[in-house]
């Protein structure tokens, strides 16, 4: 599918409040076939999400320690996770320390997922992910681990107010750019 047709299809799915605010842009190099060009998403004429550049407004994490020390990332811990730590340590660890261990385990898992998502994103081709989005259901796009699929689903008109409000907990463990688009969509409700 040509870029103009793909862009038209994606923009036809934008929620009415974001129409004109969110734009999908691409640059191409006609005479440089080895140069793929850039794809990015702009909000209010400002490039917010550049697919292949680490100097964008989103936070690109380099190490697991950076993610662990970021105060903006809040990871909810369930009782089952605390019980799993208690079982692994055979009950020899004090109660307050169990929560710290469970939180650190969960942050480590989150950090690995986040770094994996960033690596796959920088290698991904915007057009192929966008075509995949157009053929998937909205639920599959929302549940996916692909950052771009999550973003496209969040700005989609098929996602209603109730669903947006109900996904607040899930958004806490998503990539910061997905959280940005979630907040953007919340601001339109």
Residue 145 lies in a domain: yes
- Over residues 31-51, the mean pLDDT reads 74
Residue 86 lies in a domain: no
Residue 126 lies in a domain: yes
Which residue segment(s) compose the domain that 50 sits in?
3-61+117-187
Residue 103 lies in a domain: no
At 52 the pLDDT is 61
Residue 146 lies in a domain: yes
Structurally, how many domains does the chain consist of?
1
Q: How many CB atoms lie within 10 A of CB 12?
A: 10
More confident residue, 61 or 170: 170
**What ranges make up the beta strands (E) of the chain?**
22-27, 38-43, 46-50
Q: Quote the DSSP letter at residue 58.
A: S
Q: What is the largest CA-CA distance in the chain?
A: 67
- 121-174 pLDDT, tens digit per residue, is 544 467 788 889 999 999 999 888 888 899 999 999 999 889 999 998 888 888
Residue 144 lies in a domain: yes
Phi, psi (degrees; rounded to nearest 5) at 75:
-110, 115
Q: Under DSSP, is residue 50 helix (H, G, I), strand (E, B) or coil?
A: strand
Residue 47 lies in a domain: yes
Residue 106 lies in a domain: no
């Amino acid at each position: 599918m040509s870029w103009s047709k793909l862009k038209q299809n994606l923009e036809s799915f934008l929620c009415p409040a974001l129409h004109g605010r969110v734009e999908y842009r691409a640059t191409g190099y006609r005479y440089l076939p080895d140069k793929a060009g850039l794809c990015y998403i702009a909000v209010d004429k400002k490039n917010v999400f550049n697919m292949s550049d680490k100097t964008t407004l989103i936070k690109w994490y380099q190490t697991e320690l950076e993610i662990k020390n970021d105060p903006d990332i809040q990871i909810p811990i369930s009782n089952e996770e605390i019980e799993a730590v208690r079982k692994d340590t055979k009950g020899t660890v004090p109660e307050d320390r169990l929560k710290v261990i469970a939180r650190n385990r969960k942050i480590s898992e989150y950090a690995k997922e986040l770094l994996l998502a960033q690596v796959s994103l920088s290698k991904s081709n915007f057009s192929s992910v966008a075509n995949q989005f157009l053929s998937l259901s909205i639920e599959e796009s929302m549940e996916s681990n692909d950052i771009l699929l999550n973003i496209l689903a969040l700005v989609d008109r098929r996602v209603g107010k109730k669903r947006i409000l109900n996904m607040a907990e899930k958004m806490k463990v998503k990539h910061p750019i997905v959280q940005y688009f979630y907040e953007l969509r919340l601001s339109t409700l």
